[in-house]
């Protein structure tokens, strides 16, 4: 059984660590120095101009460190504390995946069934492969073929997001064969949230409270609601200006709030789910299984990113980043260790401070080196291509010529436009200086990012409106793009 095989792997890792320690092969962890950590955090906050940071560390059955730094609310001079709730961005995903795993364990959903089976007739559009192969599991593993997508709606600036069914039908575009590759997609987790609401017939905020936050006593956690008078770290942009409240069209991928104290509880639960009788431990352990992405460069379980320490010990966790948010939650099973870092401004501080913490605890993470990219032009892509970008209003046309030496020319809606596109690992990628005129991009200053895969006289991919803002993340709104040889 897959769960047994998976658990055996983790037991082997624990035994290997014990043997290495007995042989004197493992490095002796540096004694944790909280004063040195506080000094480092203060230094990096000043250098990066970060309003606040909250840090929680749980080790060997107890809280080792838990502290807030700076101001959660600068305007009202409210300090950050371990109980201050932060917008946690994509750390929402393992929470939603936990609910999906529970629903599967209870027999309410089949992880290997098409996600369409649970969306009340709302359908995906398969530009590559078959929509039936976009299973619940593949959506949760980011291997269903959905593209990169993030879209923020600010109070007083943007319209409200569309109804969930319209969101599925508009953005449920499979632009690669399901199961053929990994692509991190917020919209996929949005669909998982819609699935849970259909299965349980209640709002996702209530599901989170009743089936996760309540049972784990996560008192400061909530999902996708106006904060009201709660103890909240308000969000600031890159210029440290207060951001208006905002929502997304993928709430289940991005819209939970939580303090470091309660994120530690969530992390401890995932290290030791067998201690929680109201949950089925096997389904929680199995969320760390990388089988769906094992053959890809990025390994991702059911809601968890998977990596290792420099010594090869397993680590799983998640990061989060969007306007006014920088977050990280990492779990080290063989060390009985959970580390969480939250901040209310987008910056590199979680990596800077995190690196220091892991080194102090003797578990530095493996340093990832970017894989070398194949920049050659595939022979089957050379030639002239006529394409269409499929928007919700009307199709837009483009033409691309590809020369053997990599020279590219792009004609967008009848006009030649400048571009920085090139081939990478067989795909044409890059941005072009043109715009997608559609109701979905109205008011957005943007360029188009193309990603096209060529095969058998045709090409399939995306034309993404990458919006630009001097102090914010902007949006990435992907449209299906297809082309045929001219």
CATH class of 2-360: alpha beta
Q: Cβ atoms within 10 A of the Cβ of 74, count?
A: 15
On the question of pLDDT at 21 being above 80, the answer is no
Q: What is the pLDDT of residues 40-89, one digit of tens each?
A: 999 999 999 999 999 999 999 999 999 999 999 999 999 999 999 999 99
Question: Mean pLDDT, to the nearest integer, of 14-40?
Answer: 59
- pTM, entire model: 0.93
pLDDT above 70 (res 401): yes
CA-based Rg of the chain, rounded to a whole angstrom? 23
Does pLDDT of 28 surpass 60?
no
Confidence of residue 14 (pLDDT cuts 50, 70, 90): very low
Which residue in the block uniquely carries the two structure tokens 């914010």? 472
Range(s) of the chain covered by CATH 2.40.128.120? 379-485
**Euclidean distance between CA atoms 463 and 467, whole angstroms:** 12
pLDDT mean over 442-462: 95
Looking at every residue in the chain, the average pLDDT score rounds to: 92
Q: How far apart are the first and last CA of the chain?
A: 51
Reported as a pLDDT band with limits 50, 70 and 90, residue 382 is very high
What CATH architecture does domain 379-485 belong to? Beta Barrel (2.40)
With H, G, I as helix, E, B as strand and everything else as coil, classify residue 478: strand
Task: Examine the pLDDT at 29 and tell me if it is beyond 60.
Answer: no
| Predicted pLDDT of residue 368 | 78
Confidence check: pLDDT of 221 > 60 = yes
pLDDT tens column, 157-168: 999 999 999 999
**Residue range(s) in the chain whose domain bears CATH number 3.40.710.10:** 2-360
DSSP letter, residue 215: T
Least reliable range by pLDDT among 234-238, 390-394, 445-449: 390-394
Question: From CA 150, how far away is CA 254, in angstroms rounded?
Answer: 9
| Confidence band, pLDDT 50/70/90 cuts, at residue 16 | very low
- Judged by DSSP in three states, 241 sits in coil
pLDDT at 25: 37
């Amino acid at each position: 059984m897959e769960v047994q095989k998976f658990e055996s792997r983790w037991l082997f890792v624990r035994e290997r660590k014990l043997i290495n320690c007995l042989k004197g092969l493992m490095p002796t962890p540096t004694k944790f120095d909280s004063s040195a950590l506080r000094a480092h955090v203060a230094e990096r906050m000043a250098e990066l101009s970060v309003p606040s940071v909250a840090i929680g560390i749980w080790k060997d059955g107890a809280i080792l460190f838990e502290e807030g730094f700076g101001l959660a609310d600068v305007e009202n001079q409210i300090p950050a504390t371990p109980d201050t709730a932060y917008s946690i961005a994509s750390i929402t995903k393992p929470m939603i995946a936990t609910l999906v795993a529970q629903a599967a364990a209870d027999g309410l959903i089949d992880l290997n069934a098409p996600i369409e089976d649970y969306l009340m007739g709302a359908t995906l559009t398969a530009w590559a492969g078959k929509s039936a192969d976009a299973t619940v599991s593949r959506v949760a593993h980011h291997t269903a073929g959905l593209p990169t997508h993030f879209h923020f709606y600010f109070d007083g600036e943007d319209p409200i997001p569309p109804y969930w069914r319209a969101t599925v039908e508009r953005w449920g575009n499979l632009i690669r064969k399901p199961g053929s590759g990994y692509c991190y997609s917020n919209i996929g987790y949005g669909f998982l949230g819609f699935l849970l609401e259909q299965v349980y017939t209640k709002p996702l905020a209530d599901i989170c409270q009743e089936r996760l936050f309540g049972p784990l006593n996560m008192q400061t956690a909530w999902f996708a609601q106006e904060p009201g008078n709660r103890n909240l770290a308000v969000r600031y942009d890159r210029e440290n200006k207060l951001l208006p409240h905002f929502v997304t069209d993928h709430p289940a991928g991005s819209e939970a709030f939580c303090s470091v104290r309660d994120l530690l509880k969530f992390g401890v639960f995932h290290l030791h789910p067998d201690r929680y009788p109201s949950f089925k431990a096997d389904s929680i352990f199995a969320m760390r299984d990388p089988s769906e992405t094992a053959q890809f460069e990025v390994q991702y379980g059911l809601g968890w990113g998977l990596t290792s320490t420099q010594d090869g010990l397993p680590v799983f966790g998640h990061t989060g980043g969007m306007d006014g948010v920088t977050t990280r939650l990492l779990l080290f099973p063989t060390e009985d260790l959970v580390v969480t870092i939250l901040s209310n401004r987008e910056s590199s501080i979680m990596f800077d401070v995190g690196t220091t913490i892991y080194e102090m605890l003797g578990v530095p993470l493996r340093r990832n080196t970017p894989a070398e990219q194949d920049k050659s032009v595939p022979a089957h892509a050379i030639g002239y291509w006529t394409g269409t970008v499929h928007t919700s209003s009307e199709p837009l046309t483009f033409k691309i010529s590809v020369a053997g030496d990599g020279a590219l020319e792009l004609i967008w809606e009848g006009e030649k436009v400048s571009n920085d596109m090139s081939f990478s690992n067989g795909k044409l990628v890059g941005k072009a200086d043109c715009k997608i005129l559609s109701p979905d991009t109205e008011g957005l200053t943007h360029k188009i990012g193309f990603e096209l895969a060529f095969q058998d006289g045709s090409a399939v991919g995306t034309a993404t409106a990458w919006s630009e803002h001097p102090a914010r993340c902007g949006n990435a709104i992907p449209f299906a793009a297809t082309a045929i040889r001219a």
